[in-house]
Structure 1
Amino acid sequence: MIRLYGMSTCPWCRRAKQLLDHRAARYELIEVDLIDGEKLRKALAEVDELCGKRAFPVLVIGKTVVQGFKPEEIERALDREAKDPV
């Protein structure tokens, strides 16, 4: 399972999305600036729990969490997930 937490206005989030799209990865996109109410509270609580701070993008790829646009880390996590999906 892959989740991408980001903001619609964030250039690094767009780059992360492009990388996932290029790899034809199936993922859930959660753009926190486009949601509100309970969905927003839940998404922010998840990011806080995963990372301890709010900085986007945050990718959850299987058991791996990558905060920030780090292409090499994202690629490695995608490769691991493809070999051994959780």
Structure 2
Amino acid sequence: MPDTETNNRCPAQLYALSTCSHCKAAKKFLSECHVDFTCVEVDCLTGDERKNTIADIKKINPRCSFPTIVINNKVIVGFQENEIREALGI
């Protein structure tokens, strides 16, 4: 039997907008699944930090749309629950 606790602890990166309902849903879903993740709310950044973060996002998601989620080097654009589950192995 797989250790689901280990699977759920897969580190993830969430790039989001603080006002986006899809971003909020992704954040809530990851939290409810007990996934360790970091969330960067891009619209709350300023100056070079914002510019550099947007440049980083465009490297993995040229449209720079939100949410952009990275799990195990897999990029998921939008709140795609099934894709997130698959990437997490849950």
Deviations 1:63-84 (A, max 9, x none): 100001110001111117xxxx
CA distance in 1, matches of 2:84, 2:23: 12
Q: Distance in 2 between matches of 1:79 and 1:13?
A: 21
Q: TM-score scaled by structure 2?
A: 0.84
Alpha-carbon shift at residue 38 of structure 1 (Å): 1.6
- The answer to whether the aligner puts 1:35 opposite 2:14 as a matched pair is no
Q: How does 1:16-27 map to 2 (within 5 A)?
A: 16-27=26-37
Displacement over 2 Å in runs of 4+: none
CA RMSD of superposed structures (Å): 1.1
Q: State the number of aligned residues.
A: 80
Separation of aligned partners in 1, 2:52 and 2:13: 14
Structure 2 unaligned spans of 5+: 1-10
> Which residue identity does 2:27 align to in structure 1?
K
- 1:43 CA displacement: 1.1
Query: Considering only CA atoms, is the larger Rg found in Structure 1 or Structure 2?
Result: 2
Counterpart among 45, 64, 77 of residue 87 in structure 2: 77
Residue 53 (str. 1) matches residue 63 (str. 2): yes
- AA paired with 2:57? V
**Separation in structure 2 between the aligned mates of residue 38 and residue 79 of structure 1, nearest angstrom:** 35
